[in-house]
Structure formats: structure tokens, C-alpha cells
Structure 1
Amino acid sequence: MVVLSKIYTKTGDKGETALGNGDRVAKHSLRVSAYGTVDETNATIGLARLHATGDVDAALARISNDLFDLGADLCTPDRENDATAPYPRLRMIEGQVLRLEAEIDVMNAKLTPLRSFILPGGTALAAQMHLCRTVCRRAERLTVELSGVEDVNPDAVKYLNRLSDWFFVAGRIANNDGADDVLWVPGLTR
């Protein structure tokens, strides 16, 4: 359990931070950038929830919690040492990815197929979902880049990939099941 009794510690004043395993790294390290962008994605969810209700709000709350799990996963390297750690490592699991896929399938069944790309916009919630999607894609790119140089839980990458798709489909749902989607018209302003 986390106990936060003092918010500032001054331990990062020289540009370093502690990872979940206690290692100190530069705040600009790729690992910190990856889980920091996951945190940024989570902040965009907080804004989206200002416009969400019912099932969508509940799903965003679940996803927000998942993103803290993902941050914990990414901030703790050395997957091969998980079994000998002094406490259980929190790792993303396939079930979290499968849940997103199932939710995407349910939402997508309500939508007509697209004949054009979508521009961000429509309802306030849809616009916010597109912001969530693009920040999530950046988190995914950074996590994939990190996986090229360090061990990363493959389910963490899969989760981010599905989550950006989830935001896209949820944005269409937020646009009155796609009726208010703002469609790209190629060359419209030439």
C-alpha cells in the first residue's frame, strides 16, 4: 500500500527519480517517459469523465484504474525477477486486454461502418475521447520504443494498443452512435 504523508521529498531535485524497484534513473529516461505518458493519458480520462455518464463513465473509471496498474508495471523493470521481489509485482494481464476487446465489440456493433476518416469533434465527450486516443497512442509508441531496449510486459503494449481503439469507438458512440461524427472530406479546402 502506498502512504503519501509528505508530497515533496527533494530527491528529484537533480533530475533523477526512483523506479518501482528502487533504481534511480534520469527523469528524461525512456521508461519514465513511457509511464509518464500513461499518466498523461489518465489525466485526459479525468477530463472526459466530466462529460460522461452511465456505462461510459463506469468504463472510464475502470480504465483509469487500469492505467495506474499499467504505470506500476512500466515503472518496475526486471520482469524476470518478479518471483523473487520482496512484494508481488503488479503486471498487466491478458484479461485486461480481453475486456477492452469485448467492450469494443459491443460498442462497435451499434455503429455503421465508416466510409471516411473521422475528424475530432462532434460532442464534447467525443472530442475528449479523441484527445484520450492520441495521448494513448503516444504512450504506446514510447512503450514500444522502450520494449526495443529493455524488457517490457507484452500485455502492457497490447493494452495500450487496444485502449486507443477503445477510445476511437467510444468517441463514435459519444457522437450519437456515429450519427454526429465529423467526417474528413479530402481536399475540401483547396
Structure 2
Amino acid sequence: MVKLDVITTRGGDAGETSLGDGTRVRKDVLRIEAMGAVDEANAVLGLLRLQTAGDAAIDPILARIQNELFDLGADLCVPGEGGARLRLEAAQSARLDAEIAAQNAELPPLTSFVLPGGTPAAAMAHLARTSIRRAERLVVGLAAAEALNPEAVRYLNRLSDLMFVLSRRLNGNGTGDVLWVPGATR
């Protein structure tokens, strides 16, 4: 279990930080950028949860995902694919697949792309989706540069899809979606 007595260690004052295996790296290396983007996505999910606090179908999903994003951060902070450290598992991505299917089953088919907006909760889900996509791009770059748990990329890809579906659910099951009208301002 984690125990944090001292928050300010001054260990990063020179622009470096420690990975989970003790290796010191610059704070601007791709691994740290990816970890930071996952952390930021988690913070956006915290804001989304403020919008969905009374929704017994959605808030528990988001609460679990926030914990899983911390698991992903723990996975990313230790280089390599395997090992005894905490790693995301295929079952976590499979659960997201099932949730996407269940949430999407109640939505009407789309006839256009959806613009971010609608209700405050839906807009926040779109912000979460874009934040997760940025984290995914950084993790994809990291996976191209060094060995990485392949579930990290898969999980983020599924999670952004779930945020899109949840945005539609939070827009009155799609009735409040703001649809793109190509060339509308010509």
C-alpha cells in the first residue's frame, strides 16, 4: 500500500522525477508526458463525476474508471511489458467493450457527426473523450519507442469510445445531441 508522509521532497526541483523502478528521468520524456496525460484525463473524469453524481447508472462506472486510470499510471511508471508490478489486464478493456455496447443499445443511430455540447454533463464527457484521446496518442508514441503493456493502448482507445457514448446518453439518449451540419456557414 502507498504511504505518503512527505509531499514536497524537492527531488524534482532540477527537472527530474523517479519512475516506479527507481530510475531517474527528465520530466519531459515521453513516458512522463504519457503518465501526465493519463493523470489529466483522470482529473477531467473527476469533473464529469460532479455532473453525474446523481446518475446511478453512470457515476459508478466513472468511479471505477478513475481507479483504473490510476492503475494505468502505475503500469506506465514501470518500464517494460511484464513483471510483478500492477498492469492493466484484458478483462478491463473487455468490461469497457461491454459497457459501450450496453449504453449504445439504447441510442438512436447517428446521421451526422456530433459536435461537443448539449448538456453540461455531455459537454464534460466530450472534454473527457478528447483528453483521453490525447493520452492515447502519447501512449501510442511510447509503445512505438519501447516495450509497453499492449493493454494500455487498447484500454484508452475503448475508454474514449465509452466517453462518446456516455456523452450521447447524457444528452437525453441522443435527443439533445448537437449535430454537425457540413458547410452550414457557407
TM-score grouping bracket, smaller chain normalisation? over 0.9
Give CA-to-partner distance per residue, 1:114-159, whole Å, 9 cap, x none: 1100001111110000000000000000000001111110011100
1:1-190 alignment, distance < 5 Å: 1-52=1-52, 53-80=55-82, 82=83, 88-190=84-186
| Alpha-carbon shift at residue 54 of structure 1 (Å) | 1.1
| Alpha-carbon shift at residue 79 of structure 1 (Å) | 2.8
Tell me, in whole angstroms, the C-alpha distance in 1 between the residues paired with 2:129 and 2:80: 29
- Count of matched residue positions in the alignment of Structure 1 and Structure 2: 184
Which secondary structure does the structure 1 equivalent of 2:112 belong to? coil
Stretches of 4+ moved more than 3 A in 1?
none
TM-score (norm 2): 0.97
Tell me, in whole angstroms, the C-alpha distance in 2 between the residues paired with 1:29 and 1:63: 26
Tell me, in whole angstroms, the C-alpha distance in 1 between the residues paired with 2:116 and 2:81: 38
TM-score (norm 1): 0.95
Q: Could you say what the CA RMSD is over the residues aligned between the two structures, in angstroms? A: 0.7
| Alpha-carbon shift at residue 189 of structure 1 (Å) | 1.4
| Alpha-carbon shift at residue 14 of structure 1 (Å) | 0.4
Tell me, in whole angstroms, the C-alpha distance in 2 between the residues paired with 1:20 and 1:137: 24
Which secondary structure does the structure 2 equivalent of 1:17 belong to? strand
One-letter code of the match for 1:72? A
Give CA-to-partner distance per residue, 1:85-131, whole Å, 9 cap, x none: xxx30000000000000000001100111110000111111000000
Unaligned runs of 5+ residues in structure 1 are: 83-87
* Percent pairwise identity: 58
Tell me, in whole angstroms, the C-alpha distance in 1 between the residues paired with 2:70 and 2:98: 21
One-letter code of the match for 2:44? T
One-letter code of the match for 2:63? A
